[in-house]
Amino acid sequence: MQIRSMFFKANASAALANPVLQGNLRTSKGKFVDKRRAAVADFEAEGGDFEAMRAAAAEVRNLVLKDLDLWLEKFESAATARGATVLWAKDGEEICRHVVDIARRHSVRKAVKSKSMLSEEAGLNQALEASNVQPVETDLGEYILQINDNEPPSHIIAPVIHKSLDEVADLFEKTHRKPRKTEIPELTREAREALRAHFLDADMGISGGNFLVAETGSVALVTNEGNGRMVTTLPRVHVVVTGIEKVIPTLEDLSLLLRVLIRSATGQHISNYVSLLTGVKRPDEHDGPEHLYYILVDNGRADLVGSQFQDMLRCIRCGACMNHCPVYQTIGGHAYGWVYPGPMGSVLTPLYNGLDKAIDLPHAATLCNQCGVVCPVKIPLPELLRKLREQQVEKNLRPWLERVAIKGWAWVAGKPKLYALGTWFGVRYLNWLAGGKNRIGVLGAAPEWTLGRDFPAPEGKTFRELYSTRRR
Amino acid sequence: MRVALFVTCLVDMMRPRIGFAAIRLLEAAGCEVVVPETQTCCGQPAFNSGDRASAAKLAKKVIAEFEAHEYIVAPSGSCADQIRNEYPGLLADEPEWHRRALAFCPRVFELTDFLTRVAQPAELPGGFRGSITYHDSCAGLRSLGIKEQPRALLAQLPGVELREMPGAEECCGFGGTFSVKFGEISAAIAEKKCANACTTNADAIVGGDLGCLLNIEGKLRRMGDEKTRVLHVAEVLAGDR
Ligand code: SF4
């Protein structure tokens, strides 16, 4: 997917000025937050300890990351023993090459897809189309995006959260050429009807994978629509595209991670469907694919192992961090300009694409830590954002004015006399700007502040001055 | 009990009365308050902007100025968090400074936290009368666990009626340098905070961090609300001028 993160600020301004989007954000705001809170409360009411479970989940993920290569080898041999083929891809291009090769080998003309963020990273649909394979998204949200001229998703688990029911109704009317529907069940039925034919004549199913279980060589899929089941069992060929960091040791670990993932993501106790797929169809089985491929993708992940950003690889893609992020909730996901929005995206986008490609993202956060306290695998997102800021400073990537301002402030703060003098002038200057009022409408030194609010005027003198005169 | 007040740079420049209110409260609790004269800033703007070297220099300065005192108190959760929780990591590469930081940091408190957990004043000087709604600032709430402390203190004032707003724990959009780098987003978040606060119809919005309060006040006034007061919890507890 084309990266547009360097336009973050302009994207955000446009999002703020878009009344439809703002309305949709207001409608969706808080739903996931409330549901997660209720799920955690239920869990605790039944005697569970959610915090302990988060800690355990983080520990499982850490254990894997410590010996990632070994767990991957383990997974590979278990999966291969059950008839699957494991392929490795170092970047998006290689993902596309593998999938296109597989399609060619099995004479595939149509591929049905369930959700895979990695196929977004790779721009897989375009590559398939270029090779005369028709990709059909079957996750309802992804389907809506696909028929809307391949619009990018704005959320990792609710890709069309930025759209209203009305917008979807219009789109369906236009695409399906049927009378306009306005109720969700009717719209869903219409999409199902459109998709059913595709499921039946697709030769290939492409899915992501929530977890890869090393001990059994299985992939676990968490969905709410059942399309994942069809994608992975109906076509002759099933291709799983997922990141190398998704491996976990055992089924026991899977049950733990599912418990935190689903509660954190949608607030359900368990999703409508959890599929655990192991190997190709055996002679005594009725369904399942004849050919199963795993494409395990690096795309920047291996470099994070052992780095100061390794914690980020624990991510299990639940979306809680964006649901709880004041910035995401105000501007939506598209402004972030790549596959992953919100706090996790602000960490991943620069790490996977280059610091200079997403210069604003590590700063696009108030560091409120609403994300860090809900992350089911305890990723210290604000700390990682701050570390990215440090790297930007080390590499001289920040605007010079900002660097001078921060360095200057810190330098003056290191010299108490100069600081006292500076603040003496500072407050008088601000008061002069306020012109006798209790606020400043336009602040030249920090014009961004007064774009949407006033700057309260200072009291008049510094504490320092007053204290030295009042001191007994 | 000897307490050194860390005034914070924002209070120093913008709202000295909060500093004096903090002194009154600490004295009411029987503390002897000193205000080290050479203090400036805790270094958080540099730290959060990725300028670790500058932040480390200021951290050393704060430690050297304050470490002789038994307790160090700041009328800000964000500065107290910076000092208490970030200094040791910031100085981890310098063994001598790291040792000093570890000895120093646990003695650094946010004002309401200190008053409820350590000083425990029997009586508060404040006589505020009216309804208030409390904004929980992020660093104080999530890094220092400050939630009940200000509420317990406010409950000691008979004239105060506390009305909780929806989303009291949500960020107000200030975020330090975020507020001047992404002014539009910051103000849009502040607008939601103000809307939530205003549903309570309280006479005053009260909080423990001046950064958030300036943000909220600035937004309220721009929205045309001239009457809702925006006050630091120390001002309410120490008496309304
Ligand atoms: S960073 Fe944490 S909260 Fe965000 S998507 Fe990943 S696991 Fe979920």
Give the tens place of pLDDT for each residue, B79-110. Answer: 999 999 999 999 999 999 999 999 999 999 99
The average pLDDT across A195-224 equals 96
Q: Where in chain A is the domain with CATH 3.40.50.10420?
A: 5-302
**CA B65 – CA B39 distance, rounded (Å):** 7
Q: Is A40 helix (H, G, I), strand (E, B) or coil?
A: helix
* pLDDT over threshold 90, residue A465: yes
* pLDDT over threshold 60, residue B241: no
Distance A58 CA to ligand 1 centre (A): 11
Side-by-side strand order, sheet with B32-34: B32-34, B2-5, B71-74, B108-110
Residue A206: both structure tokens together:
């492409």
- CA distances to A112, A140, A185, A193, A344 from A188, rounded to whole Å, are 17, 8, 5, 9, 30
**CA B198 – CA B166 distance, rounded (Å):** 10
* pLDDT over threshold 70, residue A471: no
Query: Which residue of chain A comes nearest to B140, CA vs CA?
Result: A368
Pick from A388, A452, A467: which is nearest to B188 by CB?
A452
CATH number of the structural domain B125-238: 3.40.50
Distance A265 CA to ligand 1 centre (A): 9
Lowest-confidence region among A48-57, A111-120, A255-264, B205-214: A111-120
Query: Which residues of chain A from 395 to 454 reach within 8 Å of chain B, CB to CB?
Result: 398, 402-403, 406-407, 409-414, 416, 419, 423, 426-427, 438-439, 446-454
| Residue spans of beta strands (DSSP E) within A101-198 | 110-113, 134-137
Q: Between chains, do B184 and A13 touch, taking CB under 8 Å as contact?
A: yes
**CA B147 – CA B134 distance, rounded (Å):** 10
Question: Is there a contact between B128 and B236 (Cβ–Cβ < 8 Å)?
Answer: yes
The DSSP bridge pattern shows strands A110-113 and A134-137 to be: parallel
Question: Nearest to residue B177, comparing CAs of A439, A232, A367?
Answer: A367
Query: Which residue of chain B comes nearest to A426, CA vs CA?
Result: B13
**Shortest CA gap A141–chain B (Å):** 27
* pLDDT over threshold 50, residue A472: no
Q: Please state, as a whole number, how many other Cβ atoms lie within 10 Å of the Cβ of residue A13.
A: 17
Burial of A329 (0-12, 13-18, 19+ CB in 10 A): buried
Confidence class for position B240, pLDDT limits 50, 70, 90: low
**Shortest CA gap A451–chain B (Å):** 6
CB pairs under 8 A between A and B: 208
**CA A148 – CA A123 distance, rounded (Å):** 16
> What is the topology classification, in CATH, of domain A5-302?
Rossmann fold (3.40.50)
Question: Nearest to residue A370, comparing CAs of A329, A314, A310?
Answer: A329
Residues A340-370 have pLDDT tens digits of 999 999 999 999 999 999 999 999 999 999 9
Query: Which residues of chain A from 16 to 75 reach within 8 Å of chain B, CB to CB?
Result: 16
Closest ligand 1 atom to A265 CA: 8
The average pLDDT across A241-267 equals 97
Residue A307: both structure tokens together:
């780095």
Give the contacts of A364 (CB within 8 A, at least 6 positions apart): A8, A12, A327, A336, A346, B178, B182, B185
Residues A111-169 have pLDDT tens digits of 999 989 899 889 999 999 999 999 999 999 999 999 999 999 999 999 999 999 999 99
Question: Nearest to residue B132, comparing CAs of B232, B226, B210, B19?
Answer: B232
* Share above pLDDT 70 across residues of chain A, in percent, rounded to a whole number: 100
> Measuring from each residue's beta carbon to the nearest atom of ligand 1, which residues come in under 6 Å?
A 315-321, 344, 375-377, 379
**CA B212 – CA B229 distance, rounded (Å):** 14
**CA A1 – CA A248 distance, rounded (Å):** 27
Residue A15: both structure tokens together:
């999002």
Domain B125-238 in the same topology as domain B2-118: yes
Distance A117 CA to ligand 1 centre (A): 14
Pick from B15, B57, B177: which is nearest to A414 by CB?
B57
A175 or A1, which is more confident: A175
Average pLDDT, chain A: 95
| CA dihedral over A131, A133, A138, A140, signed as positive or negative | positive
Residue B230: both structure tokens together:
């925006």
Residue A142: both structure tokens together:
């992804």
The average pLDDT across A79-101 equals 97
Domain B2-118: which CATH class? alpha beta
**CA A353 – CA A175 distance, rounded (Å):** 35
- Residue A444: the pLDDT is 85
Domain extent listing, chain B: 2-118, 125-238
**Shortest CA gap A138–chain B (Å):** 34
